[in-house]
Amino acid sequence: MNSERAWRAFCAVLILALGAVWPAAADDSRVLRIITWASYVPSEVVAQFRKETGIEVQVTLSNNEEMISKLRATGGAGFDLAQPSQDRIFGAQQEFRIYKPIDTSRVRLDEFVPELVDAVRKNATVDGKLYGLPYVWGTEGLSYNSSRTKIADYTDLCRLELKGRTAVRLKRPTLMAFALASGHDPFALYHDTRAYTALMQQVGKTLAACKANFRFFYDNKDQLLNGVRSGEIWAAMMWDSGGWLLNRENPAIKFINPLSGAIAWMDTFALPARGRNDAAAYAWINFVMLPKVAALVGRSIGNFTASRGADKLMDPRIRAQFAETFPDGLKNIKWYPAIPAGLEEIEGEVLDRVKAAD
């Protein structure tokens, strides 16, 4: 009797446990959890998606470092869709296995700009499997107030007359930019650790010597934009949408493609390894790549998307600004290639020394 009573008690507990799990599983199919960048998931697009699919969208704002950290900590759980930059997928996947391959049969690839898909394939293919698709792309170049100064390349930010009047981020893009302006190609040294370390150390010394010119190392876009608007900052390394925004507010502020080349980035769609709702992730990808929807995303961010035809629906002022900044199209830009494991540690040590320099 005692064993029978114990068995019945066990079954009752099991039924209660399953009853608690089943509704959650059902709810999972109606929720899409995205970890992404600010402005990448506009509320009006979420509302349209929910109306068409019945799927709720939960957004967690992040950046490349945090995305990798969060997904690494959970083994790729907690989110159904992530949006890392295309150069941050290969190394993270090789080292931590935090993503699952893209099933291209579930994606309308004809909605994507083919050249951008090809670019991501080169950088986000691991062991023959594709782990990313293009979403939003843009460039980092230079912005300056033409009523105060004029610059042409990244190292011009270190000219004596600009002491205390420039700004950069104390992040790897600045290292890449100053390396390019010094006449070197840092990307060509990605697989030569010794040579890459030497180049980064050289760039670090240049930045440390230039430190008096930097009014501040900016941490967020508002800090930089407000610094330029107020006249505190005369010239800065900046992303294109920020430079174009300032130019629309004040035509004296220019955003240019530096002589050594703007650096092009691309953020992607990637599937976390233990995401629970792949169906919703694919539905979202296909939805936001529709040209009319992608144009709404582009308007929210101020950058162009990977949707074929969406550029024609963008604000004509932004299209005109793009043509002015890049009169030769994208010939003089440098795409970030995939970052091999270990390079960011080298860069981090250099950046720490720049930060600590007097």
What secondary structure does DSSP assign to 171-184, as a single string?
Answer: SHHHHHHHHHHTT-
How many other C-beta atoms can be found within 10 angstroms of the C-beta atom of residue 267?
A: 25
In total, how many domains does the chain have?
2
The pLDDT, as a whole number, for residue 13 is 43
What's the chain's average pLDDT?
A: 93
Same domain assignment for residues 21 and 100: yes
> Cβ distance 202 to 182 under 8 Å?
yes
Do 238 and 341 belong to one domain?
Answer: yes
Asked whether the beta carbons of 123 and 338 are under 8 A apart, the reply is yes
pLDDT in tens, 30-88: 999 999 999 999 999 999 999 999 999 999 999 999 999 999 999 999 999 999 999 99
Encode pLDDT of 263-274 as tens digits: 999 999 999 999
Integer angstrom CA distances of residue 298 from 61, 86, 252? 17, 18, 25
> Can you list the alpha helix ranges (DSSP code H) found in 239-304?
240-249, 278-288, 291-301
pLDDT digits (tens, 9 = 90+) for 130-144: 999 999 999 999 999
Exposure string of 2-15, with b = 16+ CB inside 10 Å and e = fewer, is eeeeeeeeeeeeee
Q: Are residues 128 and 237 in the same domain?
A: no
20 pLDDT above the threshold of 80? no
pLDDT at site 329: 87
Q: Is the pLDDT score of 10 beyond 50?
A: no
The pLDDT value given to residue 15: 40
Note whether 181 and 302 are same-domain residues.
Answer: no
Q: Is residue 294 part of a domain?
A: yes
Clarify whether residues 118 and 161 are in a common domain: no
Which pLDDT band holds residue 113 (cuts at 50, 70, 90)? very high
- Amino acid (one-letter) located at 327: P
* Statement to judge: residues 182 and 251 lie in one domain: yes
Residue 323 in any domain: the answer is no
pLDDT at 1 over 90: no
H/E stretch holding 269 reads strand 262-269
Is residue 320 a part of any domain in this protein? no
Token pair 């005692």 is found at 2
CA–CA dist 17, 252 (Å, integer): 65
pLDDT of residue 4: 46
The DSSP letter of residue 59 is E
Three-state SS for 352?
Answer: helix
Say which CATH number the domain at 161 has.
3.40.190.10
User: Mean pLDDT across the stretch 156-160?
Assistant: 98
Asked whether residue 325 is assigned to any structural domain, the reply reads: no
**Do 67 and 103 belong together in one domain?**
yes
For residues 253 and 243, give the distance between their C-alpha atoms in angstroms, rounded to a whole number: 8
Residue 339, domain extent: 138-263+334-356
Residue pair 112/289 in contact by the 8 Å Cβ criterion? yes
